[in-house]
Amino acid sequence: MPLSQDELVEIYKGLKKILKKYEPPFKPKLDLDSRYDLWSFKNVEIDGRKKKEVFFASAIIQSTYVGFYFMPIYAETSLKEVFKPELLKLLKGKSCFYIRDLSPEIVSQIEEALALGFNLYKEREWV
């Protein structure tokens, strides 16, 4: 059964609350009723290219799910290996998780992934 708009909003609010724990040091580029993202605004060099900002993670209400976008997986593909099966089955593509339920188990796994990603960014001095 498809999720209602109210259900999508509640999932989004839950994800946003989790992401806000990383603000600061990350800052939102967008903070809307349906999209929230976190960036590191720091001059860095990644793969020989200079960047003024690095995307960390976001939550976006889509039509049938809330997308949880987790960018550290692009920096370190082996992070995927630490995801537990419950979270891994929600991964569509390389970095987007289709969240349709914020069970305590999924919340815990998202929090764990964010902590690993944050530590990776700190190690690489991207934040």
pLDDT tens digit string along 40-62? 999 998 888 999 999 999 999 99
Sheet of 35-40: strands edge to edge?
27-31, 35-40, 54-61, 66-70, 96-99, 91-92
pLDDT at 119 over 80: yes
Q: Which two tokens mark 111? A: 């929090």
Q: Which domain holds residue 53?
A: 5-123
Per-residue pLDDT, 79: 81
Per-residue pLDDT, 93: 86
Question: Under a CB-based contact definition with an 8 Å cutoff, are residues 13 and 61 in contact?
Answer: no
> How far, in Å, CA of 45 to CA of 126, rounded?
9
Residue type, 87: L
Per-residue pLDDT, 112: 93
Q: pTM for the whole thing? A: 0.92
- Total tally of structural domains belonging to the chain: 1
> How far, in Å, CA of 124 to CA of 127, rounded?
8
Per-residue pLDDT, 75: 85
CATH of the domain at 36: 3.90.1150
Residue type, 77: T
Per-residue pLDDT, 89: 93
Mean pLDDT, residues 93-106: 94
